[in-house]
Structure 1
Amino acid sequence: MNLYRSLRVAPGVTSVVGSGGKTSLLARLAHELPGSVILTTSTHILPFDNMPLVTDGDAQSVEEGLRSSRVVCVGAPGREGKLAAPSLSVAELARRADYVLVEADGAHGRPLKAHADWEPNVPATTRRTILLVGASGFGRRIAEVVHRPQLICERLGVDGGDVATPELMARHLAWEMEQGVVTPDVVLVNQCDGEGRRDEAARFGEELARLLSVTDAGARIPRVMGVSLLG
């Protein structure tokens, strides 16, 4: 399966937000896409394995990198070996490659996430936003598997010791969409590496659609897909 076709990734800027496999998704899309690709971030990202890296930050360096490789990662050196947003804007990068893929969110390695009011950092030139959800967090305690668990507890009136069921996480995503915190075009439930996980992804999607259908956000019900990016 060509995942980029299923996700309807078009030339231009695509932003990936959420939790539970953003880096894996970006790497797979970069491999599949039929043209030149720049991988970058609006927050922080670890360099990709076996992928050319451009850290000089000027247009000439990016163009030279793309002449040598169909895919390059562009970012400014950051702390702890991570890359920060490059000096060139995402719009400038998009003028130099067919596709720009942006990691526009962070989750500190947790499979599930609640967004603070300054997140995610989606560039204005984004044409498509993909939100990831890590199914490995379903059925476990909120405090263990959610990045910023206190926000879910405050918003939904639950406790950190409660279970992060697919229905509860769908309820929280519906809240974020109603508030305009996130506006995904498609939701990708990753880590669906068994029948049980696929069933949970289906429950999540059904509950999200049900909740959004009776709100003002219902006009923008995202498509929900279940995958295993490592499978």
Structure 2
Amino acid sequence: MQICDALGVGRGITSVIGAGGKSTLLQVLVQELSGSRVLTTTTRMLPIAGIELLLDPSEEALRHALAARGAVCVGSPTSEAFGGVTKLAAPGLPLQTIAGLADHVLVEADGSRRLPLKAHADHEPVVPDGSQRTILILGASGLGRPAGEVVHRAGPFCALAHCGEKDMATPQRVARALAAERAVGRARADVIVVNQVDEAHGERATLARELAAELRALGDQTPLYAGSILHRRLERL
């Protein structure tokens, strides 16, 4: 089964939030989905390699590019860069306008400073109105490691998880922090993916299952998958 089918990605706007694989998921989705596809952001993102980049295009320019290419990346230039590549901000065109031109609009709606786990500030994530599907990513490489090293916004995370930054980001603490966020309306999602689980029976797989069990114990029944987005292997837990 393709990743897009497993995660229920259909036409319209799909938002990806969290940490530990958002860009990889966007790359996979744009490859798997058919029809016209736009990659964009409501925060900051790096352009996707191999996808034509349009900086603040007009409706007409976007329509022509989609007809010619099928998939494009759209955004506004910023003064920020990573690895010599300029990051993109949200495009000038409203996302609802873009959604009227493309079959699929794939939105990176969160930032994580390239760390595998994160807690959210009050203004995060930036899920656009009209999002048909919101996918929350968690990076399994952060589980069982010191929170201060692997969590973006470690301070808020530790306050929610009742731990210190030198304490381990155990599945129990990650589940507690996530449940606390979701209880106040942050980090809401239709499906959760524990990414970076490269082996079905390794240590990360065990930690992912513990996380799933903790979330269930806390009353969270959101569909949860674990596996490797890069290797296109997900298992529902």
TM bin, normalised by shorter chain, reads: over 0.9
* Cα distance in 2, alignment partners of residues 84 and 65 from structure 1: 19
> Which range is displaced more, 62-71 or 183-192?
62-71
Q: Equivalent of 2:102, from 97, 101, 109?
A: 97
**Aligned ranges 1:1-231 → 2 under 5 Å:** 1-79=1-79, 80=81, 81-194=86-199, 195-211=202-218, 213=219, 218=220, 221-231=221-231
What is the alpha-carbon root mean square deviation over aligned residues?
A: 1.0
Q: Give, as a single letter, the amino acid of the residue that structure 2 aligns with 1:206.
A: A
Give the Å deviation of 1:202. Answer: 1.3
Retained in 2: the 8 A contact 1:57–1:76? no
* Cα distance in 1, alignment partners of residues 68 and 145 from structure 2: 45
Q: Give, as a single letter, the amino acid of the residue that structure 1 aligns with 2:54.
A: V
Encode CA deviations 1:65-120: one digit per residue, 9 max, x unaligned.
10111111011111220111000111111000111000000000100000000100
Retained in 1: the 8 A contact 2:3–2:229? no
Which one has a larger percent helix, Structure 1 or Structure 2?
A: 1
Give the Å deviation of 1:186. Answer: 0.4
Give the Å deviation of 1:157. Answer: 2.4
* Cα distance in 2, alignment partners of residues 209 and 67 from structure 1: 45
Encode CA deviations 1:30-54: one digit per residue, 9 max, x unaligned.
1001211100000011011111111
Q: Give, as a single letter, the amino acid of the residue that structure 1 aligns with 2:228.
A: S
* Cα distance in 2, alignment partners of residues 36 and 198 from structure 1: 35
Q: Which runs of 5+ in 2 are unaligned?
A: 232-237
Retained in 1: the 8 A contact 2:160–2:176? no
Encode CA deviations 1:102-149: one digit per residue, 9 max, x unaligned.
000000010000000010000011011000000000110000000000
Retained in 2: the 8 A contact 1:190–1:228? yes
Which one has a larger percent strand, Structure 1 or Structure 2?
A: 2
* Cα distance in 2, alignment partners of residues 33 and 25 from structure 1: 12
% identical equivalent positions: 44
* Cα distance in 2, alignment partners of residues 118 and 68 from structure 1: 37
- 3-state SS in 2 of match to 1:105: coil
Q: Give, as a single letter, the amino acid of the residue that structure 1 aligns with 2:194.
A: V
Q: TM-score, normalised by structure 2?
A: 0.92
Q: Give, as a single letter, the amino acid of the residue that structure 1 aligns with 2:44.
A: H
* Cα distance in 2, alignment partners of residues 21 and 121 from structure 1: 17
Retained in 1: the 8 A contact 2:17–2:136? yes
Give the Å deviation of 1:168. Answer: 1.0
Q: TM-score, normalised by structure 1?
A: 0.94
Residue-pair matches, total: 224
* Cα distance in 2, alignment partners of residues 187 and 181 from structure 1: 14
Q: Which runs of 5+ in 1 are unaligned?
A: none
* Cα distance in 2, alignment partners of residues 67 and 117 from structure 1: 39
